[in-house]
Amino acid sequence: MKALPEKTFPVSWDMFHRDARALAWRLASIGGFSAIVAVTRGGLVPAGIIARELGIRVIETVCVASYHEETERDAIQVLKPLTETILSRPSEEVLIVDDLVDTGATARAVREMLPRSHFATVYAKPQGLPMVDTFVTEVSQDTWIYFPWDTGLSFQAPIRKTQDLREKIRR
């Protein structure tokens, strides 16, 4: 049986939109961005919000896979590299956006493609923080974030019952 995460952090659409706009506010004070690279798939939603808020019309994707079966990490795979549209721009004008930096492995792979770019995430975990220039909320390394596009509306068991279930699994 797959182990449950130690801690969970469910994020609603309202919360995520608020946090992505807060990230846009921080980035607006930095300025100078002419294009956004969204790290797919998680970076698509915040990149769209940030592009709207900052008035950026050039949005590119870099498709990177680092998870398999939700919690199992695989080697980083670049499924779709950056195009010449982005690579021909000064890298310091490119804003890379993702939903979360966890261990920093994905961020490291993308930063190697655009070394002087600005990397922004909505949420950040301690291991990945060195790879991020701007973020909104730090969460502990042992927390699994449930994004609104990953969940549906359903009953949530009280924390105590979740802890009891973990104890049963450990036995």
CATH of the domain at 150: 3.40.50.2020
Edge-to-edge, what's the strand order for the sheet holding 35-40? 72-80, 59-68, 35-40, 94-101, 118-124, 134-138
2 occurs within a structural domain:
no
Catalytic residue among 14, 74, 102, 142: 102
3-state secondary structure 29-60: HHCCCCEEEEEECCCHHHHHHHHHHHCCCCEE
Catalytic residue among 14, 19, 74, 98: 98
**What's the number of domains the chain is made of?**
1
Q: Does the active-site annotation cover 19? A: no
Residues near 11 by beta carbon (within 8 Å), at least 6 away in sequence: 19, 145, 146, 147, 148
Q: Are 91 and 115 in contact (CB under 8 A)?
A: yes
This prediction's pTM: 0.84
55 occurs within a structural domain:
yes
Going by pLDDT thresholds of 50, 70 and 90, the confidence category of residue 162 is low
Is the link from the previous residue into 166 a cis peptide, with omega within 30 of 0?
no
54 occurs within a structural domain:
yes
1 occurs within a structural domain:
no
Q: What is the pLDDT of residues 9-68, one digit of tens each?
A: 999 999 999 999 999 999 999 989 999 999 999 999 999 999 999 999 999 999 998 765
Q: What is the pLDDT of residues 106-149, one digit of tens each?
A: 999 999 999 999 999 999 999 999 999 999 999 999 999 999 99
Task: Specify the 3-state DSSP secondary structure of 76.
Answer: strand
146 occurs within a structural domain:
yes
Q: Which domain holds residue 11?
A: 7-170
Q: Are 142 and 28 in contact (CB under 8 A)?
A: no
Specify the pLDDT at position 170: 67
Specify the pLDDT at position 111: 94
Q: Does the active-site annotation cover 102? A: yes
Q: Does the active-site annotation cover 74? A: no
131 occurs within a structural domain:
yes
Catalytic residue among 14, 74, 99, 150: 99
